[in-house]
Amino acid sequence: MPILPKVRDARLITIRRGGSLTDEHHHLLAEWAAVCAEHVLHLFEAEVPGDLRPRESIEVGRAWARGEVPMKAAHDQAFHANAAARGRPDPARFAALAAGQAVAVAHVAAHDLGAAAYAIRAVGASERLNERDWQRDQLPTSMRELVLEDQAARSSICWNVFDD
């Protein structure tokens, strides 16, 4: 199921690509996505202790946000985290996919909700609301309204994990 909308919100497209998202806000979304993915990374690492691909993906996403890694390198890193997810039990799989989405924010800012949605799926339905609320508490104040509106708009394509 795709987690990106067919019509993209211009507020989640960078200015240089015709949207209104500043580089600063793009970097804030990348860091928030990394925080969300890192919060559930233990679910992957407990299942596959020697596989560092999801952790490395989160680190590359953060390095991109700091201007240390080109977008293409960050984008390519997403495939490594996604590959780590293959064949794993759901909590580990979703945690690895959250890492892949987090690093993919460098390429498309709207992947931020992918990281958050997969993280919520990783912790399971019984703790879904706690994880969602924790994530919202981590949002930079300047990005809160945009992300909450985007969650409301895209929850149905993100397995309804953002619903109350």
Q: What pLDDT, on a 0 to 100 scale, did the predictor assign at position 139? A: 96
Q: What pLDDT, on a 0 to 100 scale, did the predictor assign at position 161? A: 84
For the packed helices 128-138 and 23-47, what is the interaxial angle rounded to 10 degrees? 140
**Residues above pLDDT 90, as percent of the chain:** 81
| Burial of 53 from C-beta contacts in 10 A (0-12 / 13-18 / 19+) | buried
CA distance 123 to 119: 7
Please, which residues bridge with residue 14 across strands?
21
Tokens of 23: 């580089």
| 17-38 pLDDT, tens digit each | 999 999 999 999 999 999 999 9
Contacts 24+ apart (CB under 8 A), 80-85: 80/53, 80/56, 81/53, 81/54, 81/57, 83/53, 84/44, 84/48, 84/51, 84/53, 84/54, 85/54
Closest CA to 120 of 8, 3, 7: 3
Chain centre to alpha carbon of residue 134: 14
The answer on pLDDT for 160 being more than 90 is: no
**Residues above pLDDT 70, as percent of the chain:** 96
Name the band, by pLDDT with cuts 50, 70 and 90, for residue 125. very low
CA distance 122 to 105: 19
Q: What pLDDT, on a 0 to 100 scale, did the predictor assign at position 132? A: 87
pLDDT (mean) for 124-134: 72
Q: What pLDDT, on a 0 to 100 scale, did the predictor assign at position 94? A: 95
The answer on pLDDT for 126 being more than 50 is: no
Q: What pLDDT, on a 0 to 100 scale, did the predictor assign at position 115? A: 96
| 56-112 pLDDT, tens digit each | 999 999 999 999 999 999 999 999 999 999 999 889 999 999 999 999 999 999 999
CA distance 14 to 12: 7
